[in-house]
A and B are shown apart, each in its own frame.
Chain A
Amino acid sequence: KNEVEQSPQNLTAQEGEFITINCSYSVGISALHWLQQHPGGGIVSLFMLSSGKKKHGRLIATINIQEKHSSLHITASHPRDSAVYICAVGAFSGSARQLTFGSGTQLTVLP
C-alpha cells in the first residue's frame, strides 16, 4: 500500500507570500493529484500529473518521479487560497483509479 505524506500539516502565510506544499509517496505511481477542499467542504481537482510540471494561474505543480516527490506552489497568495490542499496518488497495479490520499495541508492566508 502506498504511503502518502504531506508537509507541512498546517501553514499560515501573509497575503502575497510564495507558498510550497510538499507530498512524498513510497511506491511508484501512474498519476498524482492535487485537490483543494474549501471550508464549505467541497473538493475540487486542481492538477493531475504524471511527470514534469503544470501551471494554472498562480498555481504550479511539479513532480519528480525518481524522488517520489511532488510540490504544489502558490505564487502571490491571497486569503481566498485558504483551504485544505490534498495530495493523492494513483497506483500502477489494479484499478489505476484507486487513489491513496494524504491527510492534507491546512493553509491559512492572512490579509
Chain B
Amino acid sequence: NAGVTQTPKFQVLKTGQSMTLQCAQDMNHEYMSWYRQDPGMGLRLIHYSVGAGITDQGEVPNGYNVSRSTTEDFPLRLLSAAPSQTSVYFCASSPGQGHYEQYFGPGTRLTVT
C-alpha cells in the first residue's frame, strides 16, 4: 500500500492564482481531512469528509474548496491564492467503524508571493 499520497511536494503561486492540491489514499478509509500547519501553531483543520459525496468545513475553511467524488481522492482547491495561505498542507485519512488512528500524507509546502 502507498498509504496517503500528496502532490505536489512544493508549489509557488502568485497572488490570485488558483490551484489544486491532490490527495489520495489506497486504504479504503472513510474519513479524510485537510490541515494546514503554520509556525508556532498546531495543525488546523480546513475541510473534512466522512465518505464519498460528503464534505464539511473545519476550523479555517475560507479560501478553500473540496470535493469527494471517490473514496480514494480528496483534492483541495485554492480559489484565489493569498499570501496568508502560505503554509504546509497535510492530508490525512482514518478508517471508519470507530477507528480513529490518523494516517498523514507527506505534506505540500505552498508559498504565495
Residue of B nearest to A47 (CB): B101
CA distance A68 to B94 in the complex (A): 24
Q: Mark B90-105, 1 if CB is under 8 A from A, else 0.
A: 1010100000111110
The reply to whether the CB of B75 lies closer than 8 angstroms to some CB of chain A is: no
**CB <8 Å contact, A97 and B104:** no
Q: Which residues of A contact B102 (CB under 8 A)?
A: 33, 35, 45, 88, 97, 99
Chain B interface size, as a band, is 20 to 34
CA distance A102 to B41 in the complex (A): 8
Q: Which residues of A contact B31 (CB under 8 A)?
A: 95, 97
Residue count of chain A within 8 Å CB distance of chain B: 24
Q: Mark A1-13, 1 if CB is under 8 A from B, else 0.
A: 0001000000000
Q: Which residues of A contact B35 (CB under 8 A)?
A: 101
Please choose the segment from A36-44, A53-61, A74-82 that sits at the chain B interface, where 4 or more of its residues have CB less than 8 A away. Answer: A36-44
CA distance A29 to B94 in the complex (A): 18
**CB <8 Å contact, B42 and A4:** yes
**CB <8 Å contact, B42 and A103:** yes
The reply to whether the CB of B106 lies closer than 8 angstroms to some CB of chain A is: yes
- Chain B interface helix/strand/loop/mixed: strand
Residue from A33, A35, A44, A95 within 8 A of B50 (CB atoms): A95
Residue from A30, A41, A86, A96 within 8 A of B42 (CB atoms): A86
Residue of A nearest to B32 (CB): A97
The reply to whether the CB of A48 lies closer than 8 angstroms to some CB of chain B is: yes
CA distance A45 to B109 in the complex (A): 20
Query: Contacts A42-B104, A98-B48: A86 and B43 contacting too (C-beta < 8 A)?
Result: yes
CB pairs A–B below 8 angstroms (13 shown): A31-B100, A33-B101, A33-B102, A35-B102, A45-B101, A45-B103, A86-B43, A88-B102, A97-B48, A99-B45, A99-B102, A100-B42, A101-B43
Q: A35-B104, A41-B109 are in contact. List 6 more A-B contacts (CB 8 A).
A: A42-B104, A45-B103, A48-B101, A88-B43, A95-B31, A97-B102
